[in-house]
Structure 1
Amino acid sequence: MRDYIKRFLIAIIMALCVSLLFLGGRHTEAASTPETAEIKERWIWPSDGIISDTYGTRNGKHKGIDIAGNLDTPILAVEDGVVLKSYFSTTYGNVVFIKHPSNFVTVYAHLNKRSVMVGQSVKQGDMIGKMGKTGQATGTHLHFETHQLEWRYDKKFALDPEVLLGKADVGETVQGGVASIGDHILEASSHFHTSDDNSKLQTTESSIKDTYIVKQGDTLYSISKKRNTTINKIKELNQLTSDLIRPKQILIIQK
């Protein structure tokens, strides 16, 4: 009798495991659909910079990707749309929400400046603001989110932006105004739209030479010694108000 009960329990456990694997597969399939594949072919990256954090980190609470760069780097609309919100938040800082025809909502947070108003129509590649570190941000970067149908406070409909923009790991550079198609890059917007004709996107090559990715155990003191600079200079370049830094944070370092 005991052997029968054991076999019965083992069968139930195996059935549950198979069910969980099936559900996991369904979830992955839902994240990559013909609709998202089509969007991936036309959406552009929202700014120049280096990926400093990805979706799902911080125990699953990070519902977007972070692109670190220089202060006032232009932030671009990834697709045509209408501005849903443009305001200052204690968490997001200066933030812009755009609703797109594809029924996605994109969020651009921690901006130094906002260039659009609620209800305004924008075209793909329009400059909607400039990169900053407003709100709850430890350094200059763009926090970018994508949501299906609508943005909610609980971020129930959040989707990994890399599903729509292409895969990019921490430390990799991205260029605003280009879109991924498979393994190739298509220039979707060679010039972002702005009233200042002299404004230009900074090249990613110069950004690579002047950045440092914080490692576990690093301090501003140890980094300053490695790069032959000073703590004050690092803080000044990165608009840091304290000595607090975190692993994988991208710091701008003077040559």
Structure 2
Amino acid sequence: MRTWQKARAGVLALALVASTAAAPASGTATDCCGPSSWTTGDKSALGTSPTTQSPVWFTVANGVTSEVFYPRVDVPETQDMQYVITDGFSFVDLERDATNHVVSMPDEKSLEYTVTNTAKGGRYRITTTYVTDPARATLVTRTRFQSLDGGTYRLHLLANPSMAGGAGGDTAAWDGSGLVASGTENLFGTTATVVSSLRASTGFSAHDNGYSGAASDCLVDLRADHTLDNGFDAVSGAGNIV
């Protein structure tokens, strides 16, 4: 999701399934593979649904989405997911590092969280509410982006999947309306393939699939000239993708 608007609210849905689907590709990133790391264990939120129809657990750390677990609580499918903010010419902020974080619960009897991230320099505020869909294996977040200083900013979403419990063997593709990641790992003697689908209620005005830390990485691309120049629909082989 990329926008010039000063204030915008949108809903993101990250759905996971245990099957794969083909996706078209018109541009392919070939600079595999990039480094692999993991997220912090210092969590500020942990959520899930009370229903068995939604075998998804999520955590928040440093103000952003960290792991999303599926179909068991010991199988992470995401390293982290967060926003990247730029004015298009002078700075590129990574939400986790550039903001001060406040976590609250609208109802302490429910595992719903609101995370308010305010830019350390006072430029903007990002407010995101987290909840799991009780009927599906889906994490749903609602985000409001506010300019606090009258400036106009571009908002990007950076997702770092780690499918089926591992980051090194994933693939990614654009399916025409959203981003799809998949991976296969051997977990405790059982081979598991998991697919995630990322959707935005506002739609995406641009997209990129690449390898973490490589030139195709959207964050690397943005930091180079404050503009998303890459538009890869897919990656050439399994690796640590973003």
Q: TM-score, normalised by structure 1?
A: 0.28
Compare CA radii of gyration and give the structure with the larger one. 1
* Greater relative contact order, per chain length (Cα 8 Å cut-off, separation 6+): 2
Q: TM-score, normalised by structure 2?
A: 0.29
Answer 1 or 2: which has greater helix percent.
1
Answer 1 or 2: which has greater strand percent.
2
